[in-house]
A and B are shown apart, each in its own frame.
Chain A
Amino acid sequence: MEHGHGGSGGLEHGTWLHWLYHYRILPDWLPEVVPETFLVVIVLSAIVILARPRLTVRNPGKLQTFLEFCVVSLDSFVRGIVGDEAKSLTPIIGTFFIFILCLNLLGLVPGLTSPTANINTPASLAIVAFCIVQYYGIRKQGFINYLKHFAGEPLILAPLMFPIHVIGELARPLSLTIRLFGNIFGEDMVIAILILIVTSVLGKLLIPLQFPMLIFAIFTSFVQSLVFSMLVTIYVTVAISGHEEHH
């Protein structure tokens, strides 16, 4: 359950990707979650790139059926929240969901850690989400109207409301980051502690105490990726509709 390298104060590497640092392929300041993240990016990209020429209108294979199921499910999920804007938003939200789910599940693979258990990963995803929300809001309402929305009503209270709204807006990526990081980090820590108990306290009795937690981690990984994706979708919906999510 090692998170970070170099910047984290010279902790030992605990993953299978340690050889990248050993052979000086990657710089020391880069934490091991980065090659892990890119491992996920490469594997997912390879799957879809290799599957692309085999996609057919008639007689789809098992992989295509699964990919179609994913796309249709994500599209209906996004469409249910945001409406007609789903056509352009589904790829973004879908990528968020699949990417975060895979990053979360990576921690369950022996010898690897969850990149989302390192705060840099959820923070980078939250920054992207924040930028997307602002982009959609400005594109839909126009820059001036979008700023007016921050000023609130009545206009006389704008000096008070504007900073509050800006802070509220900035709190969103922060909450997204902390939520995802906290849950996955906590989950990984529990698994690590349970493994530590098995190896140190129980001695020769190798009872897999961590196993129920691993099963539960699959569920929480799914839930956390769903929550992140759903919140981003809701933020975009709020931004393009010009109303706050009071209700």
Chain B
Amino acid sequence: MDILNIDPRVLAVQIGGFLLLLVVFKLFLFKPIVSILEARQQEIESRYRDAEERQQVAERLRAEYERHLATIEELMHTKIAEAIKEGQAMRDEIIASARAKAEDILARAEEQIQREKEKAVYELRGLVADLTITVASKLLEEQLDESKHRRLVDRFIEDLDSQITRSREPSGGDV
């Protein structure tokens, strides 16, 4: 012991120093670091699980959205086709209505023209009769009975009309 300079008191103190460090290391280094590493590992595992779950949810949602999108597209196509059909029907209806209105307006215009024409003819006839009477009275210098004279002129004009009509019929022309 003396040769090697070993002192039991020094040994005891040095052992005490080592054991003290061992306790400190165990309490403040190894235990906390190991628990932190385990906690980190658990966190990583749980995050990985969460990520997987989220990915699955995302996949499911994507499939759902795609299905919805397909349904919406189908619906959209149907609606567009319906709208086109409806539009075409409306267009046809509008055209038909416009055409009917135009025909109606045309018919009415023709009718009015006819009426105006008849009226004009009638007025012309009266004017011609008056002129004829005036001319005839002046020529004959004879005063005829007014009403008698008018009947005579009307008959003459009617005869004239019928003669004109007859004369035009063989040629097939319009009035």
CB contacts under 8 Å to A, within B15-42, are: 15, 17-22, 24-26, 28-34, 36-37, 39-40
Collect the chain A residues with CB atoms within 8 Å of residue B25's CB.
44, 48, 91, 94-95, 98
Contact of A183 with B by CB under 8 A: no
Kindly specify which of A116-124, A147-155, A220-228 makes contact with the partner chain. A116-124
Contact of B145 with A by CB under 8 A: no
Contact of B10 with A by CB under 8 A: yes
Contact of B11 with A by CB under 8 A: yes
Tell me if B7 and A57 are in contact (CB < 8 A).
no
Of the listed residues A48, A72, A99, A115, the one surrounded by the most CB atoms of chain B closer than 10 A to its CB is: A48
Q: Is the interface of A mostly helix, strand, loop or mixed?
A: helix
Closest CB-CB distance, B31 to chain A, in whole Å? 8
Closest CB-CB distance, A53 to chain B, in whole Å? 10
Tell me if A71 and B30 are in contact (CB < 8 A).
yes
Tell me if B29 and A67 are in contact (CB < 8 A).
yes
Collect the chain A residues with CB atoms within 8 Å of residue B140's CB.
none
Tell me if B43 and A57 are in contact (CB < 8 A).
yes
Tell me if B15 and A127 are in contact (CB < 8 A).
yes
Collect the chain A residues with CB atoms within 8 Å of residue B24's CB.
41, 44-45, 48-49
Collect the chain B residues with CB atoms within 8 Å of residue A237's CB.
none
Tell me if B30 and A91 are in contact (CB < 8 A).
yes
Tell me if B15 and A124 are in contact (CB < 8 A).
yes
Kindly state the separation between the CA atoms of A58 and B43 in the bound complex, as whole angstroms: 10
Q: How large is the interface on B (under 10, 10 to 19, 20 to 34, 35 or more residues)?
A: 20 to 34
Collect the chain B residues with CB atoms within 8 Å of residue A49's CB.
24, 28
Kindly state the separation between the CA atoms of A199 and B10 in the bound complex, as whole angstroms: 33
Given contacts A7-B7, A91-B30, contact A57 B14 (CB under 8 A): no
Kindly state the separation between the CA atoms of A33 and B5 in the bound complex, as whole angstroms: 13
Contact of A31 with B by CB under 8 A: yes
Count how many pairs of residues, one from A and one from B, have CB atoms less than 8 Å apart in the complex: 113
Contact of A16 with B by CB under 8 A: no
Contact of B9 with A by CB under 8 A: yes
Collect the chain A residues with CB atoms within 8 Å of residue B15's CB.
124, 127-128
Kindly state the separation between the CA atoms of A99 and B20 in the bound complex, as whole angstroms: 11
Closest CB-CB distance, A57 to chain B, in whole Å? 5
Given contacts A8-B5, A95-B18, contact A71 B33 (CB under 8 A): yes
Contact of B13 with A by CB under 8 A: yes
Contact of A45 among B11, B21, B30, B33 (CB under 8 A): B21
Tell me if B30 and A94 are in contact (CB < 8 A).
yes
Contact of A37 with B by CB under 8 A: yes
Tell me if A37 and B5 are in contact (CB < 8 A).
no
Contact of B139 with A by CB under 8 A: no
Kindly state the separation between the CA atoms of A38 and B6 in the bound complex, as whole angstroms: 18
CB contacts under 8 Å to B, within A126-170, are: 127-128
Tell me if B36 and A120 are in contact (CB < 8 A).
no
Q: Mark A88-105, 1 if CB is under 8 A from B, else 0.
A: 001110110011000000
Of the listed residues B4, B29, B34, the one surrounded by the most CB atoms of chain A closer than 10 A to its CB is: B29
Tell me if B21 and A41 are in contact (CB < 8 A).
yes
Q: What are 5 A-B contacts with C-beta separation under 8 Å?
A: A37-B17, A52-B32, A71-B29, A95-B21, A124-B11
Residues of A within 8 A of B (CB): 4, 7-8, 29-31, 33-34, 37-38, 40-41, 44-45, 48-49, 51-52, 55-58, 67-68, 71-72, 75, 90-92, 94-95, 98-99, 115, 118-121, 123-125, 127-128
